[in-house]
Structure 1
């Protein structure tokens, strides 16, 4: 007699087929904490950057150490776009004057919060696995690794943009006046930290339009965006009067276009095909708007008035991370990939980033190193020597490390930065600079690196002329992004 296939051949008992493995879904705590932990570890890794500090961080450091009144005096003349950040950092240093660690730790913590927020955004819009992947991808992005341990506002702006995005989703899902008010307040905070965060607010509006959420949410967003614009308007008006401070920015060239194109293309590839759609706004619409609109608009404007710098719209990486997380999660549901292979691919991706990650933790990763320049001045100079900055805006080393210039005479300075309410102070007229230079036997100069265009002001011309006519070059020290030169009269080297 034939034996039924449903019976065990040995005992005649029904076969018990093993149940398919159940995938454990990470909970919201894991989705938030795992990315935050990774971002925190990457941010703290080499946070001192071999005890180096570049010019923008030097500006933060010395401005934040001024009094509130002195910061207010400065903002009326320069750098008002960073005013709120300077005040926040002033409070940090008032509580704990921890040098480079205190300078960079707020940004590290803000980027950890951003990574957690990205994970939770992915969780809301595409599910827990998509959120976890997105949250882990975000802090690995090279640009995010670069600006996480940075004494500037970009990480804080990213955190505020992500928080505003969460409030936007909550307001669309459950319309309440207080939620929309919270969205307007947090978005305003992001814009006051850096005015180009307004492009994230515009991206939110585009995402709502693409998602066809209806007239009421769209009208509520427009009202909130109007509040943000009103709050931001005074800052924009004053910062436009200080536009000369960003005169160093040039129109986007091939490197900037290729960089943006590569990111946008990656995002568009990840957006193709079906993606999970769980939230009040589809992930595809929100992520593509955040990824593409802010840098694209800033680039387009920059061909008329150059303003584009990638770090000004760092939060665009939030959109890319969300798209990568959702796409990898979708693939995992349709393509069976052994865990060992998936783990190997993840390790390979991290290993590919490792050389760049290591380089980011060195002084060579930034434009210059003001601490190294100050150290070179101390080693070359001796009490009684003169000191000059060519051009005058290279005064960052003496602003952040004045102890290394002790005993040297500033030959061109008419008024220091703090009483003059400026970033670098005010210099004497050219004839006075010439007369003071001729009283010196030796002069230490802090210069741009070779190959940089020379400033064509009367003060800068007279500095170069007197050095060429009356002094000999005695010694040269090249540091990251600057050249320190000792000049002396004949026989005085």
Structure 2
């Protein structure tokens, strides 16, 4: 019952995992931070990205093993994503077990398969970030919660606390799963002792998370890039929410498992599906914070409801001939759904499926640049494109850089003043510029203004490469375009 969902998730995670060796900017940050020493990592987290500190530390340990064994043969892109594939495989197995406990073996099997086939699950199974690990931890914490509610045991409550605390330390917004768990506990009308045990576990999680949450408020400027929720992400949630609620309304869904655990399927799955995303959406009215990957675990709630509904609809009932015809129609409908999702699944394995591609940027720089050329990143945070492919930038002089990211214990390094950047640019004959695609709002800091104005007044555009999510341009002094 567990092996088919886990096997399917593993297969889908391995399919196209290289993505033509494309690495997008967030994965480039993971690569850079994971390859810093623990001392350097600790110093950097005091200035930026402390919310991902535990994940970076885990990836640091992983790359120590991977680089020494498989790195040369498989490449860095696979190394970035293998932990996420493994985590999402564990999540699919957890969903199957949870569905089995709540609604029986058939429902568990369908729930695990439905979870693995959702495109957003496959997307983050192939991403070098923490969200697959968080999803797996929440799924297994939910399973332990259901078991603890059925047969209270101190060891189970301790396990639940540890799993949820680890998930929250990997990403703070995982705490939004706790209200969903609380709603399930309250709707189940559990004994007072069980309610007290869950409350103590929740208090322990919040207590363990509090220092990180307080410290990370000083780095809240890192979320300045967030705007109104992405329409595609909202549509994904809306579709799954409507389908999940529709599945919950099907008659004959079991209340609980064959062991008659006290937490019912609907009482658990509906809050898990709806509440974390709705709370995050409401928080976005105060300050933009909605990104679907922050609450990716909501898909587990949908999968549980879909699995139970499919199990209910696939049961034989009534006349044998009619039952077979009904089964054929339902099977055909499922095949059509899978076929409709296939183009999305294929797209997720392409370099164009993410915001940008640092590998393509590095290749374009290699095509346009010559040793001794100047180099600029505009805006400065695009310097992260360099991290996974330093060899493509050898021989180039980063004209704006004052201290490298590692030396300054920052994500993108520190830059010189605008006047100093202008003076250094005027000493160069040719400058390669890696920048955002057209239409992006320009940065207005002194450094960015100095770069743009000096290029405009003192240089001419010689060549340009458009790559996914970026432009790489070669500028030269008037009359120098043909020289190298």
User: What do the CA deviations read for 1:361-386 (whole angstroms, capped 9, x no partner)?
Assistant: 00010000001101100110001100
Structure 1 unmatched ranges of 5 or more? 1-30
TM-superposition CA deviations, 1:236-273 (whole Å, max 9, x none): 11211101111111133655544433222111111113
Selected match of 1:81 from 39, 51, 57: 51
Q: Corresponding residue for 1:305? A: 287
Structure-2 separation of matches of 1:42 and 1:247:
34
Equivalent residue runs for 1:370-385 within 5 Å? 370-385=358-373
Partner of 2:6: 36
Aligned to 1:415: 403
Q: Which residue of 2 aligns with 1:231?
A: 208
Equivalence for 2:218: 241
Write the mapping of 1:27-426 to structure 2, written as runs, cut at 5 A: 31-97=1-67, 98=71, 99-252=76-229, 255-272=232-249, 273-277=251-255, 278=257, 279-333=261-315, 336-338=323-325, 339-426=327-414
Which stretch has the larger CA shift, 166-175 or 442-451?
166-175
Shift of 1:341: 4.0
What's the secondary structure of 1:303's corresponding residue?
A: helix
1:163 Cα offset (Å): 1.1
Alignment of 1:17-36 (within 5 A): 31-36=1-6
Distance 1:274 1:248 in 2: 46
Q: 1:424 to 1:196 in 2, by over 3 A?
A: same
State the Cα distance separating 1:330 from its structure 2 match.
Answer: 1.4
Runs of at least 5 residues in structure 2 that lack an aligned partner in the other structure:
318-322
CA deviation digits over 1:29-58, x for unaligned, max 9?
Answer: xx2111000000000000000110100001
1: CA distance, partners of 2:382 / 2:471: 11
The whole-number CA distance in structure 1 between the counterparts of 2:51 and 2:355 is 21
State how far apart, in whole Å, the 2-side matches of 1:213 and 1:237 are.
Answer: 33
TM-score scaled by length of structure 2: 0.94
Structure 2: how far apart are the matches of 1:78 and 1:446? 23
Q: Give the secondary-structure state (helix, strand or coil) at the position aligned to 2:427.
A: coil
3-state SS in 2 of match to 1:333 = coil
Cα distance in 2 for residues equivalent to 1:321 and 1:240 = 34
Aligned counterpart, 2:320 = none
- 1:86–1:427 distance in 2 versus 1, CA, 3 Å: same
Q: Distance in 1 between matches of 2:234 and 2:339?
A: 27
- 1:400 counterpart SS class: coil
CA gap 1:330/1:280 in 2 versus in 1, 3 angstroms: same
Asked whether the 8 Å contact 1:47–1:149 carries over to 2, the reply is: yes
Secondary structure of the corresponding residue to residue 474 of structure 1: strand
Correspondent of 1:484 among 467, 472, 477: 472
396, 417, 440: which one pairs with 2:428? 440
SS of alignment partner, residue 174 of structure 2: helix
**1-side partners of 2:309 and 2:24: how far apart?**
38
Structure 1 counterpart of 2:450, from 443, 456, 462: 462
- Give 1:419 shift: 1.6
Secondary structure at 1:290's aligned position in 2? helix
- Mapped contact 1:252–1:303 kept (Cα < 8 A): no
1:47-85 per-position Cα deviation (integer Å, ceiling 9, x unaligned): 000110100001001110000111101110100111111
SS in 1 for 2:173: helix
Deviates more, 1:251-260 or 1:56-65: 251-260
Of 412, 424, 429, the residue aligned with 2:417 is 429
Q: CA deviation at 1:355?
A: 0.7
Cα distance between partner residues in 1 of 2:385 and 2:276: 34
Q: Please, what is the CA RMSD of the aligned residues?
A: 1.3
